[in-house]
Each structure stands twice: as structure tokens, then as C-alpha cells.
Amino acid sequence: MCGITGYIGEQQATPVLLEGLKKLEYRGYDSAGIALQTGQGVVVCKEKGRIADLTKMVDLNVQSTAGIGHTRWATHGVPDRKNSHPHQSQSGRFTLVHNGVIENYLQLQRDYLQEVEMISDTDTEVIVQLIEKLSSEEVSTEAAFRKALTLLHGSYAIAMLDEQDPDTLYIAKNRSPLLVGVGADCRVVASDAMAMLQVTDQFIELHDEEMVLLRKDEVKIFTLGGERMERALYTAQLDQSDLEKGTYPHYMLKEMDEQPTVIRKIVDAYSNESGKLSIDSKVLQAFKGADRLYIIAAGTSYHAGLIGKQYFEKFAGIPVEVHISSEFGYNMPLLSKKPLFLFITQSGETADSRQVLVKVKALGYPTVTLTNVQGSTLSRESDHTLLLHAGPEIAVASTKAYVAQVAVLAICAYACGESDLELKKELSIAANAIQTVLDSKEDVRKVVEETLTDTRNAFFIGRNLDFYVSLEGALKLKEISYIQAEGFAGGELKHGTIALIEEGTPVFALATQRDVSPNIRGNVKEVTARGAKTSIFSIEGIQEEGDRFVLPHVHELLTPLVAVIPFQLISYYAALQRECDVDQPRNLAKSVTVE
């Protein structure tokens, strides 16, 4: 949540910062701003709304080769100009942007800043005012910056300008993602490498409780204790073309269409020299050495984890528990004797999951992270990493990363056990089936037009694996169309939820599991009798007359890969129908980096 850019070099900073913010807008779009070091002072421009709103206000004639930028997802204070970043100290000397949450900001305000009149309602302003306060007591800005950081409790990624030191950007990180980039004639800072690919693909990972002095030809990294750190560059494996929409009207549509290719990439990446599906031997031993697997995840990744549980138990015979990360961290259950923790996260920066990772590592338990971002925090701090190979996912509502998670979980479970299933062949069939469904977009659009035009709520039901897909379908619909939607196990309807069914209530039912197909069809009849407008999504082989959409046949265990596609499309077309912002839905951000 929230995105930072920073630049110091030979070029004009403004276009670099604005272009970087456009790439980071998926991280937050309540407000945005930039600050430019001009040599005669710092010029700040910020505005409520999107990067486009900010761009209209920026004076492109301001000459500056150093600056910082920010796009905000509000945590403290409503989204407005006064709460937008950058924030300045009382005298205007220091200007700062910040991602994260400072837990003790009120205490700091009481202890150090009683005489300072705060302009905003944010925790961020406390940081910059504190630095100015300490600068009167310390011998240098560097010392004041370091002292302030030692007083902060919580998460932060910080970039700061000092009006009196135009040749330096002051950078710091703790529990919030931040990278430093090295270009031919510049140095940059960003929350995500994609923001600065326009100037460099060479980056340095920053670790927690580190600060950086960034100059146009120099990067100095220190611990908060003052120890100088050296760290090698890495090359960001991103293609600039992957970050663009091309001819697509929305990133979400582009990313849905990429899903067959993602499955094929995963199969290729996890095939060994003999052409068989496999995973790294050390990861394999970690799985096989566990008496119980604990999957930790949130949101869409949690739904993928529920499906993964079935794979590990059926393919490998490993007992699995799936937990919501924000709950597990504060209510850890009794653990088995030899647990293994598997963290599922698209971004690798999910704060809820990371706080669990920190706790279980302190207890000495082995950890594996399944993520789409190599070098991300959870990837770096886990014992092992499994990559999704999905490519950048920009739309806030996850589609291809979810499908990738399910596919990689199937491969991991398959590699850990013994099965007659030809999984590689079956995944290829699933990829083709996904393409078939994607080619039927207009059929799904008609379903939306017939069922969701005037509704205020909707229900998704299924049994067995279909239940987990129903949870994901409901989440997608509520995320981007704002229709109140819920996913249920079909048998649970008559234990309370059926009271909500009224004339015209949309109910989407999945029927891809042969042994429970009669049961879910019985549930459909129950809600139809009470006035629901029902749509059954079945699969070849068990379809019946009157089914609204028939999916191509795939192996029964892999139906979640295909069954989720029409639900993704339903959410997309429902959002279009209601003129919602598909890629950047209200109140949401792509990377949930604060608890």
C-alpha cells in the first residue's frame, strides 16, 4: 500500500518521478504528490485523487534534478490535500514521504512535539517534524535522521529531502518494501522495481532497520547502529512491455487473457531435464520432513491455499491446515511436532503474513514462500522460495496470480507424493480449457446482463473444490463491482443463508465435482423455489439441460483452474456495467504492506 519514487541524477526529475508514480498507482490512489529540490528551496505539489490529477497541477518548468514522489492509500486521515504526501517540517527545511504505519506516533508527538502545530492528521507528519526537532540537537542531518529512526516503532519506507543538502536523498526502511536503483547517471529509490525500469534495471535490496545516503553517483547503506553495509546489485527480471496494457482497455482483461500462457510457463519452469515435473530437492525434503503443513495466506491467496490443502492431502498424504494470516499471528493454535509453514503471497510483501513468518522463524520452524516476486521480503526471509512465474500483475483484483498459485501448489503436492496422474499432460489440457472459456467472453457478458444489472447482492455456491472457487468468485465480484457477494458451501444455505434469498437474487452455482453434482443441483432447486435467479456452471461429462455455461472437460482435481475463469469474467463485466474502476477499485491497494 502506497508507493514511493525518488530520483537524483543528471536528468530532470519531474518526468521520472511522475512516470514512476504511474507504475505504482496500483499501490494506492487516494492522493499523490512530488517534491523537487531546486537549489533555491523545495517545491511541493500534491493533490487528492489519481496521478492524472497531480500531473495536471505540476509545473513542468521547475528545474530540478532531485526529488521524491508518493501515491497514497490512506491509513491515517481522510484522503485530501493536507494529508497527502510529501509532508514538510514546520520551517520547510525537511520534506518527506512515507509508507507504513508508525505505531507510537502519538507518544512521539506528546514527548517531542507539543509546541509544533500539526497540519495533517497523519503519522507521517510526526516523522518529519521529529527530524527537524532533533536536527537542532544533532551535529548533522544524517545523525538527526538516524536518531529519529531509532525512536520509531512500526513499519516504514522513507525518502526525505533536506533543503540545505540538495545533493543527498535520505532513505530508510523497516518492514515496508523499498529498493535503491543504480543508473548510468543517477540513483533512484522505489517501492517496486517496475517504477524505475525507465532509467535502470540494476537494483539493491534494502533490509529492515537500514538507512541510505543516496547521491547521484553514490549509495551508502548503514544499519541504524552506524555500521556500513555493502550489497551487490541484482538485475530486475522485468520486461517493460509486460507493464503496459497495449491494446487492452484494462490490465485485468490483459492479465486474464495471459492465464493459459502462465500455466504453460509454470509447467516449463517446474520440468526437470528429463521432462518430468519436479521442485527443488531442498524444498521437497522440507515438505517430506513435515508431519503437518500450515498454509498461511490472506484474501485470494487464502482461497488458493484451501485448494492446495486438497492437493497435498490427496497427492502426498500430508495433513494440512489453512489459516488466515492476520488471525494466525495473534491466535496461534497448538502445533504439531514437525510443522512446515507455507506462505502464499502474490507480492511477497503481505504484512499480515510477514508478522507470522517472523514469529515462526523465532520458534525455529522451517518456512517456504510461494510468491510471484523474487527478492521480495517474504521470499528473502523464508528458508525456501517457490516462484509463480506469472509476470507482473498490475490490476488490484488478482486473476493470473491466483491461477498460478493453484497450479504451483498442484505441482508441489504432486512432487511430494506418488500418483498415476499425468499432471504435466493434465495441466496442458487445463491451459487449453482456460483459453476456450476466455474465447467465450460474450457468453459470460450475457450472463451478467441477465442477472446482475439491478442487483444489490449475489451468492456463489459449490461443494468440495467448487466451494473454494465460489469463495474466490464472490471476492472478485465484490472487489471490483461493489456488489455485496458471498460464497457458500451449498449445504450451508439451509442453515441460515437461505433466509436472504428473495425474488430475483442472483445465485451462481458450480457443478464440476461428479460425486456432489446431484447435491449442488438440489441446492439450486431450493433457492429457485424461493425466487432466486440461478445460473449453473457445469463441466463436460456431468452437464445437464438448462445449465447456463458448460466448461471444457479437465481432470476433476484441476477444475479450480478452469471454473474460476467465468467468475473472473463475471466480475469484470459487472464492473464495466456499473462504470466502476476495474483496475483500481475504491479503498483497495494491490500490495497490503500494513497490518
Assigned C-alpha cell, 253: 482483461
Can you tell me the distance from the alpha carbon of 99 to that of 174, in angstroms, rounded to the nearest whole number? 10
Can you tell me the distance from the alpha carbon of 263 to that of 286, in angstroms, rounded to the nearest whole number? 25
Assigned C-alpha cell, 184: 548510468
DSSP-H helix ranges across 363-440: 377-381, 400-416, 423-438
Can you tell me the distance from the alpha carbon of 86 to that of 230, in angstroms, rounded to the nearest whole number? 29
For residue 569, the one-letter residue type is L
The whole-angstrom distance between residue 446's C-alpha and the CA centroid of its chain comes to 30
Task: Tell me the helix, strand and coil percentages in the chain, rounded to 5.
Answer: 40, 25, 40
124, HSE (Cβ side, Cα atoms, 13 Å): 29
For residue 448, the one-letter residue type is V
Q: Mind telling me the catalytic residues?
A: 2, 590
Assigned C-alpha cell, 66: 532531485
Can you tell me the distance from the alpha carbon of 410 to that of 263, in angstroms, rounded to the nearest whole number? 12
Backbone angles phi, psi at 438, to 5 degrees: -60, -30
- In SS3 terms, 202-262 reads as EEEECCCCEEEEEECCEEEEEECCCCEECCCCEECCCCHHHHCCCCCCCHHHHHHHCHHHH
Assigned C-alpha cell, 366: 522451517
Assigned C-alpha cell, 541: 461429462
Closest CA to 311 of 431, 385, 419: 419
DSSP-H helix ranges across 43-165: 51-57, 105-112, 124-135, 141-151
Can you tell me the distance from the alpha carbon of 167 to that of 151, in angstroms, rounded to the nearest whole number? 26
Assigned C-alpha cell, 311: 492437493
Can you tell me the distance from the alpha carbon of 165 to that of 246, in angstroms, rounded to the nearest whole number? 41
Assigned C-alpha cell, 106: 502519538
| CA distances for 279 relative to 267, 293, 342, 413, angstroms | 11, 17, 14, 10
Mapped onto helix, strand or coil, the DSSP state of residue 72 is strand
Cβ-in-10-Å burial (0-12, 13-18, 19+) of 7 comes to: buried
121 CB neighbour count, 10 Å cutoff? 14
Can you tell me the distance from the alpha carbon of 35 to that of 69, in angstroms, rounded to the nearest whole number? 6
Mapped onto helix, strand or coil, the DSSP state of residue 395 is coil
Assigned C-alpha cell, 325: 494470516
Cβ(24)–Cβ(177) below 8 Å = no
Can you tell me the distance from the alpha carbon of 19 to that of 166, in angstroms, rounded to the nearest whole number? 22
Cβ(127)–Cβ(102) below 8 Å = yes
